[in-house]
Copies of this chain bind each other. A is one copy, B any other.
């Protein structure tokens, strides 16, 4: 399985993904389930993917080829809004499903895939979209400011308690890492490394990215401090009077 999350905050968009099932190709600006498309000072687009890896890799490849081949139609490098980018990602997903879906179905293999697409194109605010397996999508709003893919339930309670659109990026990163820790502890299918990328609003450049690997000192400290703190809070809770 997978755990990916993207949060659209007032100050930018935070992306994070695990990489346990990653059998992916490593090349510049691709890490784990996170793919960054950047045209500095003009547009930054980040795609997080979950589901069948052959499907999501093909989607990424189709989007990448937009850079090199002018097929006459709109591309993620030419369209003027993130909405249009989301449409193109959905179309790429449908194209791969048309090509590969029936063959996978014949082998009883789950061909479904979901993607999160966020970023900013000059002239627009940062935007974030959740692309469903059928290629349709929804956009994050002030009410629903984050999307998760895969094993999202374990790590959702801490997000729901801490994150608002006004949360600063450092707190958001800490909260997302705690959310990953909760998920990793309770579900063996999600694991390190974790890729984190912070896109600062209006920067129009790929922001800080960090790959957190096994033994990472900060993540180890965070896990331990959170666990200790949680047990301390738990120990301070009053007892119910109906239990003698």
Residues of chain A at the chain B interface (Cβ within 8 Å):
151, 153-158, 160-162, 169-171, 173-175, 178, 182-183, 185-187, 198, 208, 210, 218, 221-222, 225-227, 229-234, 236-243
Contacts and interface: CB of A to CB of B under 8 A. Distances in A.
Given A154-B157, A225-B233, A230-B233, 8 more contacts: A154-B154, A154-B156, A170-B243, A174-B239, A198-B243, A208-B243, A218-B238, A229-B234
Contacts of A238: 218, 221-222, 225
Contacts of A243: 169-170, 173, 198, 208
Contact of A170 (B222, B226, B240): B240
B234 A174 contact: yes
A170 B236 contact: no
Nearest to A235: B171
A211 B18 CA distance: 40
Contacts of A169: 243
Contacts of A151: 153
B231 A161 contact: yes
Contacts of A175: 234
A231 B162 CA distance: 7
Nearest to A169: B243
A37 to B, nearest CB: 22
Given A210-B242, A233-B232, A240-B218, A157 B185 contact: yes
Contacts of A221: 238
A236 B227 contact: no
A241 B226 CA distance: 18
A221 to B, nearest CB: 6
